[in-house]
Amino acid sequence: MAASAEPAKSTEGGWINLLDKDFSQWDVYLSYPGDVIMSVIQKTAPKGLKPIGLNKDTKKVFSMIEENGQPILKITGEIYGAAATKQEFANYHFKAKFKWGEKKWEPRLAELKDSGILYHSVGEFGVDYWHSWMEAQELQIIEGGIGDYWTIAGAQIDIRAHKRSGSELYEYSAEAPLLHFAADPANNEAVANHCRRGEDREIPNAWNEVELLCYGADCLHIANGGVVMALQNSRHPKDGKLVDLERGKIQIQSEAAEVFYKDVMIRSIDAMPAKYRRYFE
């Protein structure tokens, strides 16, 4: 792991707990409330409207609560944005448990509840389509779609994927050809900016666990103990060239849905674990 801030102390097994009662290992960036963000995207927002900015979370969109003595992160979703680790990471195993709340906000009142883990996050906030996040790769957390992939801003990656008969969406399959995914497919010789997980492993109305293993430019999305996607050759444009994107901060999204996180942990790895190497052969 590469640090940009003093890391928390390791626990048993080398795991570092990223949550504490003061939320001290994270910064919070907020862009716009859900009921105005579409006007920002469509460029019809009132003149002079600006994002809320960094560490100005007066509405407590991100807050720490306690349940049975355990720290839990509550995200209301009311305002788009992210909590981002102060520390950068590379070559790691990350895991977290999440559970959906009840509330939803514009513009997703009629949509599925949505959140996500953004990894290898670099650069400034607000560079994405929603003006809310840093450039990153995304492990999507959405109802019925734990482990989907989205590219955020300029991030690009390769995934073994295909389209099922009658579907316009790409889906991960270990037997499929390796395809290129990027935010602007037409200009990046990519097939799409989104890939669905290989299987739905969500447990409804319960805590679900997601895991992310990244070593070098290769990553795995794991949901409730099962691999749902393998991703290769993480990269992004820099100074006019495509370069490896192998390290960065971790962001947890606020995206118009109430969600709770606990047991948010990370540890260093010195290789992709042997049981997972077959996904990259």
Flag whether pLDDT at 220 surpasses 70.
yes
Tell me the longest C-alpha to C-alpha distance in the chain: 55
| Per-residue pLDDT at 9 | 59
Residues 60 and 97: their CA atoms lie apart, in Å, by 21
What does the pLDDT look like over 248-272, one tens digit per residue?
Answer: 999 999 999 999 999 999 999 999 9
| Per-residue pLDDT at 46 | 92
Average pLDDT, the chain: 95
Could you give the percent of the chain with pLDDT greater than 90?
92
Residue 178: count other Cβ atoms within 10 Å of its Cβ: 11
CATH number at 12-280: 2.60.120.560
Q: Where are the domains of the chain?
A: 12-280
What does the pLDDT look like over 152-180, one tens digit per residue?
Answer: 999 999 999 999 999 999 999 999 999 99
| Per-residue pLDDT at 5 | 40
What does the pLDDT look like over 23-81, one tens digit per residue?
Answer: 999 999 999 999 999 999 999 999 999 999 999 999 999 999 999 889 999 999 999 99
Going along 123-270, which residue ranges are E strands?
A: 135-142, 149-152, 156-163, 170-172, 178-182, 194-195, 208-215, 218-223, 226-238, 241-244, 249-254, 257-268
